[in-house]
Amino acid sequence: MTKKPKVFLFVPYLLWLALFVIIPLFLILYQSFFDIHGQFTFGNIVEYFTSGTYLSMTLSSFFYAFLITLVTLVISYPAAYLLTRLKRKQLWMLLLILPTWINVLLKAYAFIGIFSQSGSVNDFLAFIGVGRQQILFTDASFLLVATYIEIPFMLLPIYNAIEEIHPSYVSASRDLGASQWETFRRVIFPLSLSGVRSGVQAVFIPSLSLFMLTRLIAGNRVITLGTAIEQHFLVTQNWGMGSTIGVVLIIIMVLIMLLTGERKKGAAK
Amino acid sequence: MMEKRSFKWANLYLVFVFLLLYAPIAYLIYYSFNAGGTMNSFTGFTWEHYQAVFEDTRLIRIALDTLKLALSSALAATIIGTFGAIGIYYVKKRRTRNTLLSFNNILLVSPDVIIGASLLILFTMVGFQLGFTSVFLAHIAFSIPIVVLMVLPRLQEMNDSMVTAARDLGANSFQVLSRIILPSITPGILAGYFMAFTYSLDDFAVTFFVTGGGFSTLSVEIYSRARQGVSLEINALSTILFLFALGLVVGYYFIQQGLEKNKRKRTAVKDPTNHEKAVSPR
């Protein structure tokens, strides 16, 4: 009897789970079996896997996401490691994370100015004698801006993972005669891999689906899976094909989660 | 010696990353004062772009709408999510609990486009008019899981014997909830509200999908303006938003700190299991 009010308060949450989590996922799968005229068809899936356009788009989207993840990792790992050795690390971390509170669109907008034909980067290139280049609306600018936006999302999990390593491991390693580099390679790096994994998850999956950057910064020269979905849903109104790409994106997402997730069985050994 | 030198290099690298992250924001703010009207050559100082922001009634209306949306959707998400977390915490079977938690996290890991597209299908199938309500519901939907994740750890930290004691002393479950459980998870609830609020403010992709055109948020508006090119009004607006975000984070930081202190003080007095603190002279 005494439990009743609690059960009643739990109902909205369960309703949310059903209505906004589970049903939409099924709807996107369901929608992928309909063509643009609302007829049931397997054509979308067949088209996706036979047309060169979709496959090459998927591949290039993958390639860009891979590059973005790699570059953010290379920049963030040393930064996260060095941060954990600072005195006021909490404050520094807060400062480095703060830009994530600025709207992504504003950051993208800043780069429109910075990379423009007469922007600062081009001024600098002209100054050192390279001459002005087309930077905005190129693949490179897309990579740069996407990397910039994703850095904090890589930084935070790695920092947390390194912070969680008990200092006695490091002391033990040093006491046993390991050099600083050996300690890093054999103790800190392996123990921080869980953070790297969650960082990769947090960067790779959104990188596959960035769609407004491809428009604002890459000028539609780069098409990610996200751009394709957005185009099909909001421009060509071909929801079936959009959903098919959505299903592919969900499958890729699940695969990445499985690949980068904690391997419980391995850990148990 | 060696140690010291490498440490300086370390600082240099951190300063580099720091500058990298802040440079675009600084750039935006700097040119918001440019009388020249472009984002490249600074010709003179002016406040006129800020004036333009405050005279732009459409922009002000959208900003207020965005704020209203964030405040209200975060409130709804916090209420549903808090009781969701309490519910999950009291689910007895570990298996069921883990399943609920993994379903909870689906929306956190799903790309925005997927959330947007699937909710668009949902709203159209039900025959829902796209506009404020659809955006409002979508924002509640993607904010709930983060609230749950913020509240759950506080529940796990809660002293369960307090609940048992309250029950033994004859408290009904409403009293247990309002006098014991809710006060002890308040920091988690506030953190959840704050996160939900910022999620809602920051969202672009989901809103872009489920807003029919009649309703716009700042992100959507900035997107459509940025597509037309540079206008320093957006720079001025982003400076204001930056200061707002800064104030929000700093304010939140102090509120959390204050709560932690309060909580420590109170537990020291009230919690009988807290021997060490109860015994120590105050």
Q: What is the pLDDT of residue A140?
A: 86
Q: Could you tell me how many residues make up chain B?
A: 282
B195-239 pLDDT, tens digit each: 899 889 889 999 999 988 778 898 899 888 888 877 888 889 888
Q: What is the pLDDT of residue A241?
A: 92
- Going B120 to B122 to B125 to B126, the CA torsion angle's sign is negative
Q: Count how many pairs of residues, chain A against chain B, have C-beta atoms within 8 Å.
A: 234
Inter-chain residue contact A24 with B27, CB threshold 8 Å: no
- Which one of A91, A98, A106, A200 would you mutate to disrupt binding with B, by most B Cβ within 10 Å of its Cβ? A106
Nearest-Cα distance to chain B for A215, in Å, is 8
B134-174 pLDDT, tens digit each: 999 999 999 999 999 999 999 988 888 888 899 899 888 88
Q: How far apart are CA B229 and CA B227, in angstroms?
A: 5
Of residues A15, A21, A41, A19, the one with CA closest to residue A30? A41
Q: What is the mean pLDDT of residues A101-109?
A: 84
Query: What is the set of domains in chain A, with CATH numbers?
Result: 68-219 (1.10.3720.10)
- Locate B220 and state its tokens: 């959507």
CA triplet B28, B29, B35: central angle to 5 degrees?
Answer: 95
- Locate B45 and state its tokens: 């100082």
Q: Which of B41, B111, B173 sits opposite A209 (nearest CB)?
A: B111
Q: What is the pLDDT of residue B70?
A: 94
Inter-chain residue contact B121 with A239, CB threshold 8 Å: yes
Query: Is the Cβ of B103 closer than 8 Å to some Cβ of chain A?
Result: yes
Query: Is the Cβ of A226 closer than 8 Å to some Cβ of chain B?
Result: yes
How many CB atoms are closer than 10 A to CB B252?
A: 17
Q: What is the mean pLDDT of residues A171-189?
A: 88
- Helix H, strand E, coil C: the string for chain B is CHHHHHHHHHHHHHHHHHHHHHHHHHHHHHHCCECCCCCCCCCCECCHHHHHHHHCHHHHHHHHHHHHHHHHHHHHHHHHHHHHHHHHHCCCCHHHHHHHHHHHHHHHHCCHHHHHHHHHHHHHHHCCCCCHHHHHHHHHHHHHHHHHHHHHHHHHHCCHHHHHHHHHCCCCHHHHHHHHHHHHCHHHHHHHHHHHHHHHHHCCHHHHHHCCCCCCCHHHHHHHHHHCCCCHHHHHHHHHHHHHHHHHHHHHHHHHHHHHHHHHHHHHHHCCCCHHHHHCCC
Q: Is the pLDDT of residue A118 over 80?
A: no
Q: What is the mean pLDDT of residues A100-120?
A: 82
Inter-chain residue contact A102 with B218, CB threshold 8 Å: no
Q: Is the pLDDT of residue B255 over 70?
A: yes
Query: Is the Cβ of A138 closer than 8 Å to some Cβ of chain B?
Result: no
Query: Is the Cβ of B109 closer than 8 Å to some Cβ of chain A?
Result: yes
Of residues A216, A10, A18, the one with CA closest to residue A105? A216
Q: How far apart are CA B232 and CA A242, in angstroms?
A: 36
Task: Give the residue, B267 or A242, on which the prediction is more confident.
Answer: A242
Query: Is the Cβ of B117 closer than 8 Å to some Cβ of chain A?
Result: yes
B119: which chain A residues are within 8 Å (Cβ-Cβ)? 20, 24
Q: What is the pLDDT of residue B119?
A: 94
- Which one of B105, B118, B223, B257 would you mutate to disrupt binding with A, by most A Cβ within 10 Å of its Cβ? B118
ipTM of the complex: 0.85
- Locate A161 and state its tokens: 């993972």
- Which one of A14, A15, A16 would you mutate to disrupt binding with B, by most B Cβ within 10 Å of its Cβ? A16
- Locate A29 and state its tokens: 């799968």
Q: Is the pLDDT of residue B276 over 60?
A: no
Name the percent of chain B lying above pLDDT 70: 90
Indicate the range of A113-122, A247-256, B231-240 predicted with least confidence: A113-122
Question: 3-state class of A40 per DSSP?
Answer: strand
Nearest-Cα distance to chain A for B76, in Å, is 10
Place of tokens 């499985």: A258
Q: How far apart are CA B272 and CA B278, in angstroms?
A: 7
Interface of A with B in 167-186 (CB under 8 A): none
Domain locations along chain B: 61-271
B8: nearest CA partner in chain A: A82
Q: What is the mean pLDDT of residues B79-102?
A: 91
Question: 3-state class of A34 per DSSP?
Answer: strand
Inter-chain residue contact A6 with B18, CB threshold 8 Å: no
A154, A203 Cβ separation under 8 angstroms: yes
Query: What 8-state DSSP symbol labels residue A41?
Result: -
Cα-atom radius of gyration of chain A, to the nearest Å?
23
Q: Domain spanning B61-271: which CATH class is it, in words?
A: mainly alpha
Interface of B with A in 240-259 (CB under 8 A): 241-242, 245-246, 248-249, 253
A225, A180 Cβ separation under 8 angstroms: no
- Which one of A1, A2, A3, A6 would you mutate to disrupt binding with B, by most B Cβ within 10 Å of its Cβ? A6
Q: How far apart are CA A7 and CA B87, in angstroms?
A: 7
B71, B134 Cβ separation under 8 angstroms: no
Q: What is the pLDDT of residue A73?
A: 95
Query: Is the Cβ of A157 closer than 8 Å to some Cβ of chain B?
Result: no
A9: which chain B residues are within 8 Å (Cβ-Cβ)? 83, 86-87
Query: Is the Cβ of B110 closer than 8 Å to some Cβ of chain A?
Result: yes
B112: which chain A residues are within 8 Å (Cβ-Cβ)? 206, 209, 226
Q: What is the pLDDT of residue B249?
A: 81
Residue B146 CB burial class (10 angstroms; 0-12, 13-18, ≥19): buried
Of residues B244, B120, B162, the one with CA closest to residue A98? B244
Q: What is the pLDDT of residue B281?
A: 39
Inter-chain residue contact B109 with A205, CB threshold 8 Å: yes
Report how many helices (DSSP H) and strands (DSSP E) chain A contains, helices first.
Answer: 15, 0
Q: How far apart are CA B178 and CA A210, in angstroms?
A: 43
B17: which chain A residues are within 8 Å (Cβ-Cβ)? 75, 79, 96, 151
A206: which chain B residues are within 8 Å (Cβ-Cβ)? 111-112
